[in-house]
Amino acid sequence: MQHELEKLRYPIGRFAIPDAIDHTLLNDWIKTITDFPARLKSEVGDLTDDMLEKRYRPEGWTIRQVVHHCADSHMNSFIRFKLALTEEDPTIKLYEEKLWAELPDAKIIPIESSVKLLEGLHERWGILLKSLTTEQLERGFIHPATKRLISLKVNIGLYAWHCNHHLMHIANAKNY
């Protein structure tokens, strides 16, 4: 039972940092990030309000909450990138994503505002990511929970994974 729940929670597996991150892999990750809004729209574009209330696992978020979570999470990540590029190893601020997902703007409103937000955000984020130099990719931020420096190149991979992770949640919820 625990294994089944883990598979529902992490349908594409957990993010693992590759041993080597080369330009080909970075370009693939950046493409995943820049393509995310269009892929998301394709997954949710024809869903009814009732369908948006479907969950990908017992006690998991609804599709609506997943879409709004992506907007919240990706906004936070974009800000973290900008902090890392303009400050020396900044310590980031955490946010309580589970609590954010319970707020009215994530739980009950239509998803269109978050889809539009993601379109603009990912357009800017993609431009920023494509412009990063090798030196800038090594910059990072300190995660307060682990006290470790996370490089921007690793965080690009994490957010490419995050995009695919939640797209799979939505696909699974539609069939759950």
Residue 165, both tokens: 């992770």
Per residue in 40-74, pLDDT (tens digit) is: 999 999 999 999 999 999 999 999 999 999 999 99
Instruction: Give the model confidence (pLDDT) of 67-121 as tens digits.
Output: 999 999 999 999 999 999 999 999 999 999 999 999 999 999 999 999 999 999 9
Reduced to 3 states (helix: H, G, I; strand: E, B; else coil), residue 91 is strand
- Which CATH number describes the domain made up of 23-175? 1.20.120.450
Percent of the chain with pLDDT over 90: 95
- Mean of the pLDDT values across residues 146-164? 97
Nearest-angstrom CA–CA distance, 34 and 49: 27
What residue ranges do the domains of the chain occupy? 23-175
pLDDT one-digit tens code per residue, 4-46:
889 999 999 999 999 999 999 999 999 999 999 999 999 999 9
Helix ranges, the chain (H): 2-9, 23-44, 63-86, 97-100, 104-107, 112-131, 134-138, 152-175
Instruction: Determine the pLDDT at residue 152.
Output: 98
For the entire predicted model, the pTM comes to: 0.96
